[in-house]
Amino acid sequence: MTQRTLVLVKPDGVQRGLTGQILARIEAKGYTLAQLELVNATREILEQHYEEHQGKPFFEPLVEFMLSGPVVAAVVEGDRVIEGFRSLAGATEPTTAAPGTIRGDLGRDWGEKVQKNLVHGSDSPESAEREIGIWFS
């Protein structure tokens, strides 16, 4: 059963020139890049995307980080792609993410208010559908 998921290369990944390497890992895993766009996110998009975190202490620093530079938004397709990409991305915390994952190999803690962890991937089919609709209206 082919699934679709939203993958974001966050501003830290774009600014560090890691977009090509991240996308290559997705393709090397056998997934298809169905849509791809370089986006300067707006506050409106980010408030929709992170709506479940509104009111939490990390919400505003997260939005500010995501506004700090361009983001690469991708619709990625493949069998069990949601689970597969999240495994490929690694744990949220780059310091403890396993070697071989995107975050484990390419990320680290920069000592800032928000965790800069290079990528986002939808966590369920419902989230994927909602998030794709936000970024690719």
58 is in an annotated binding site: yes
**How many whole angstroms separate alpha carbon 76 and alpha carbon 65?**
23
Q: Which residues contact 23 (CB under 8 A, 6 or more apart)?
A: 9, 33, 36, 72, 74
Q: Residue 9's beta-bridge partner residues?
A: 72, 119
Residues 95, 88, 128, CA angle at the centre, nearest 5°? 110
Q: Is 86 annotated as a binding residue?
A: yes
Tell me if residue 120 is catalytic.
yes
Spot the catalytic one: 120, 122, 128, 131: 120
Q: Is 40 annotated as a binding residue?
A: no
**Is residue 113 part of an annotated ligand binding site?**
no
Q: Mark the binding-site residues, compressed into ranges.
A: 10, 58, 86, 92, 103, 117
Binding site for ATP: residue ranges?
10, 58, 86, 92, 103, 117
Which residues are catalytically annotated?
A: 120
